[in-house]
Structure 1
Amino acid sequence: MLSALRRVPFAVQVLLALVLGIALGIVARQMGGTTDDPNWLAVTLDTIGSTFVTLLRTIVPPLIILAVISSIASLRNVSNAARLAGQTLLWFAITALVAVAIGIGLGLFIRPGLNSGVDPSTAADPSTHGSWLAFLESLVPTNFLGLTASTSADDAGVLSTSLSFNALQLIVIAIAIGVAAVKVGKSAEPFLAFTQSALDIVLKVLWWVIRLAPLGTVGLLGNAVYSYGWTTIGALGKFTLAIYIGLALVLFVVYPVLARAHGLSVVKYFSGVWPAVQLGFVSRSSMGTMPVTQRVAESNFGVPRHYASFAVPFGATTKMDGCAAIYPAIAAIFVAQFFGVDLGITDYLLIVFVSVIGSAATAGTTGATVMLTLTLSTVGLPLEGVGLLLAVDPILDMGRTATNVAGQALIPAVVAKREGILDEERYNEPRGLGGFVAPEFRSAAELAADADRDASAAEDDSAGRKPASVTAP
């Protein structure tokens, strides 16, 4: 049976997993159970899904550190490294500006906060808030590994401590180490060689985890259907509709137009970004999806590794058109309409400012709620309005995250194309619906061509020549 499963294309496995996950989630709902006492099928789905996400998140810290250090080492011979970083930030801001404009337009047109039927008693101030100070503080690593610890007590009073990592701090640490290694010079060569070797090992482990994506998809989507279903939309139907229309406009209109404007095939974009989009949708985690997003940018879109290993991790912490543009814009308008607060042109400009600049203030945190509180506090709207929207947040988070990762993969490809370093042959290579263009799935002829290109690049480096493909046209 395993041999037969291996013959099924990876993309088909994922699609089948999506269907199976929805079906099992519906079955689990029919079996009954509560949040405190779920049935055995619900527990099994939750365990499978959470285990897969845990595996992805486990590999993120070493991937960020090793990839960023290696990318800085690779960029030392690239004359336009600063320009690459600047172009990345610029296009992050441009797409965020378009997304928040769409969000404001939909909020004013659909008017989700009027006659919503939401129970005012559900209004509650959230436990976490976004702030500009928190963003500035998050830039300073608290320890070498960027780890934070939190202690909580269960109903029986038993204390447990959990560790988490701050992705932005990891990037800062890795940039410092990478720059220092480059400045040290020849004596740092063994360290850089070790870093590259370790990165190759981590990427191999990552591929083993990615191969589990169909199984993880069954668990994640099945548990989402069981836990939330679609009945929780209730009185927030107009709000949910506005959010998903906005996300659809960004994902299916803005991004394709941006790709086409830069001479990139829209069909290849959607087929290439599918692995990251589907995983982002079911996992609801840009950071958990980040390894897959980076693999999409490199293997499917042809973005050079030295650039993708910087742009994708950075985008996973700050490039959130779903969570930081569409959602806070419509949600802020909903809260204003619900509480009868009239917004002026200055308020809308503040919403735009926070969405374009402020998404970095959520780096290293759980994004959308923190971003919403930052927006509401900046505009002067009651933070208690956040509690009104919590009932549908898990359902919205699936679409938000899928949109986030689609943009996080596209912008590096756009910038690479503008700078003349995109491997367009790789971008346009044939692939199945949503399949990866990667060594595990490519022909011997394609592997030989890649080996020739790598050998040629190595000869250029050893001779002290800069490859022509990395210079701006």
Structure 2
Amino acid sequence: MSSTAQSAAPTKRRWLPSFGVQVLIGLVLGVVVGLIARSMGADGVDSATGEVDPNWLTETLTIVGSTFVTLLRAIVPPLVFLAIVASIANLREVTGAARLAWKTLAWFAITALIAVGIGIVLGLVLQPGNHTSVSSDAAAAPGKTGSWLDFLTGLVPENVMGLQASAGGDGSVGLSFNVLQILVVAIAIGVAALKVGEAAEPFLGVVRSALAVVQKVLWWIILLAPIATVGLLGNAVASYGWDALGSLGTFAIAVYVGLALVLLVVYPTLLRLNGLSIRQFFSGAWPAIQLAFVSRSSIGTMPVTQSVTERNLGVPRAYASFAVPLGATTKMDGCASIYPAISAIFVAQFFGLELSVFDYVLIAFVSVIGSAATAGVTGAVVMLTLTLSTLGLPLAGVGLLLAIDPILDMGRTAVNVAGQALVPTIVAKREGILDETAYDAPRRGAAWREDEELVTA
């Protein structure tokens, strides 16, 4: 091989451990630093607000973690918009695009139904509402609730990028985005570009170029993940600890057992039934799963989920760039299936209310369909309130569970993201479009492979 060819090979940074090892080191350091911060206690109480002032180490961890999540969330709107428009334009090269969409939705429903079934069984067997020492004084209705009308209103874009502004009490204005609305706008523009035909090629060329630039910026952000892991997990340990688990121990065990069964039994079984290596899937999806665990945000993790689904798991970009963003808003086996099922049974048992067979059918229905109904305001609490209100259970029961919600949210989000990578992989395999060479390739410890560079051990 010539020296020119050798110089064109990807540069390997051997002085750094692999990306996965870096994040694992961050996990360990996060726990250690978080415990140190917790042992330091608080700096005092704000005389004006009455709120506890965190110590300097906890505050530092909070800033480090929240800055990373903010960077991820900032890049999500342009990434989703550009990726969806580009992928729809590329769908002309994918046979049976409509069939892919329907099969994706079908597998979303199948896995959600299995997850909610596991949640119901665990709730009935472990009876968390009858084995708790939490006081009824903690019962309180949440400030935000779910509604079946949220799905319809969430579909209508308020502006071209789905951005929303809200005024703060201090006069500041905050911006947020609705991924569901961004999806609707991007799909409409992508389909319009297809209909226009050749005249839209200059526009699509700009979209593809802009997408390449955004993905490069995303790569730089992801390289910060190991440092961010220390901040995110350290803040969780320092702020919440594990003290609150005592009064809700059985409930927490039921939730995590359900999450483990879905992640380590249901998903591997589906992979094996479809002729896919279990080890290769988890090693390929691991960068997204571990980031979801510490960030507690499916939306914030979505760029990583999409990247590993394409590059590690071999799902075609035209399909993955559509399926993963859709899954990030509507595919939540942890938050929308297992957790609401166990929580609804907990609330019913705690208040001494009997659930009928029809009520359990309603729990399954809300879990399979309801995640779409709350897609504009995603969150486990919103999904739980939708389930409780549908069953006629007291919304005040939500307050009983909020003390340990951050601890449970880590596991819930990890399962959400694993499912968001799993379904496109299975559908691509069944449709014969999965790049099995990429799926079965050695992982080399990278989050994903870029065209120009590869971070390896």
Shorter-chain TM-score: which interval? over 0.9
What do the CA deviations read for 1:150-172 (whole angstroms, capped 9, x no partner)? 2232xxxx232211000000000
1:7 corresponds to = 16
Kept in 2: contact 1:61–1:170 (CA 8 A): yes
1:189 corresponds to = 201
1:446 corresponds to = none
2:183 corresponds to = 171
Q: One-letter code of the match for 2:314?
A: G
Change over 3 Å in CA distance of 1:231–1:407 after alignment to 2 = same
The answer as to 2:367 corresponding to 1:355 is: yes
Change over 3 Å in CA distance of 1:4–1:296 after alignment to 2 = closer
Q: One-letter code of the match for 1:360?
A: A
2:421 corresponds to = 409
Kept in 2: contact 1:300–1:438 (CA 8 A): no
Kept in 1: contact 2:130–2:349 (CA 8 A): yes
Which among 7, 11, 17 is matched to residue 26 of structure 2? 17
1:63 corresponds to = 79
| Distance (Å, rounded) in 2 between the aligned partners of 1:436 and 1:18 | 20
- Percent identity, aligned pairs only, is 66
1:42 corresponds to = 58
Q: One-letter code of the match for 1:69?
A: V
2:8 corresponds to = none
Change over 3 Å in CA distance of 1:338–1:433 after alignment to 2 = farther
The answer as to 2:260 corresponding to 1:248 is: yes
Normalising by structure 2, we get a TM-score of 0.93
The answer as to 2:125 corresponding to 1:112 is: no
The answer as to 2:312 corresponding to 1:300 is: yes
Secondary structure of the corresponding residue to residue 356 of structure 1: helix
1:464 corresponds to = none
Kept in 2: contact 1:271–1:434 (CA 8 A): no
| Distance (Å, rounded) in 1 between the aligned partners of 2:24 and 2:271 | 25
Secondary structure of the corresponding residue to residue 423 of structure 2: helix
Which among 421, 426, 441 is matched to residue 454 of structure 2? 441
| Distance (Å, rounded) in 2 between the aligned partners of 1:72 and 1:16 | 39
Kept in 2: contact 1:69–1:178 (CA 8 A): yes
Kept in 2: contact 1:273–1:434 (CA 8 A): no
- Over aligned residues, Cα RMSD in angstroms? 1.5
Which among 193, 196, 206 is matched to residue 218 of structure 2? 206
Q: One-letter code of the match for 1:120?
A: S
The answer as to 2:351 corresponding to 1:339 is: yes
The answer as to 2:405 corresponding to 1:393 is: yes
Kept in 2: contact 1:431–1:437 (CA 8 A): no
Change over 3 Å in CA distance of 1:316–1:111 after alignment to 2 = same
Structure 1 residue 364 displacement after superposition? 2.5
Kept in 1: contact 2:280–2:440 (CA 8 A): yes
Secondary structure of the corresponding residue to residue 163 of structure 1: strand
| Distance (Å, rounded) in 2 between the aligned partners of 1:78 and 1:15 | 38
Kept in 2: contact 1:429–1:437 (CA 8 A): no
Kept in 1: contact 2:37–2:57 (CA 8 A): yes
Kept in 2: contact 1:284–1:397 (CA 8 A): yes
Q: One-letter code of the match for 1:384?
A: A
2:145 corresponds to = 129
| Distance (Å, rounded) in 1 between the aligned partners of 2:193 and 2:94 | 16
In structure 1, list runs of 5 or more residues that go unmatched.
444-473
Kept in 1: contact 2:72–2:300 (CA 8 A): yes
| Distance (Å, rounded) in 2 between the aligned partners of 1:192 and 1:144 | 17
1:453 corresponds to = none
| Distance (Å, rounded) in 1 between the aligned partners of 2:313 and 2:118 | 27
Shifted more, 144-153 versus 277-286: the winner is 144-153
| Distance (Å, rounded) in 2 between the aligned partners of 1:376 and 1:95 | 22
Q: One-letter code of the match for 1:18?
A: L
Give the aligned length: 437
1:454 corresponds to = none
Kept in 2: contact 1:243–1:327 (CA 8 A): yes
The answer as to 2:438 corresponding to 1:422 is: no
Structure 1 residue 32 displacement after superposition? 1.2
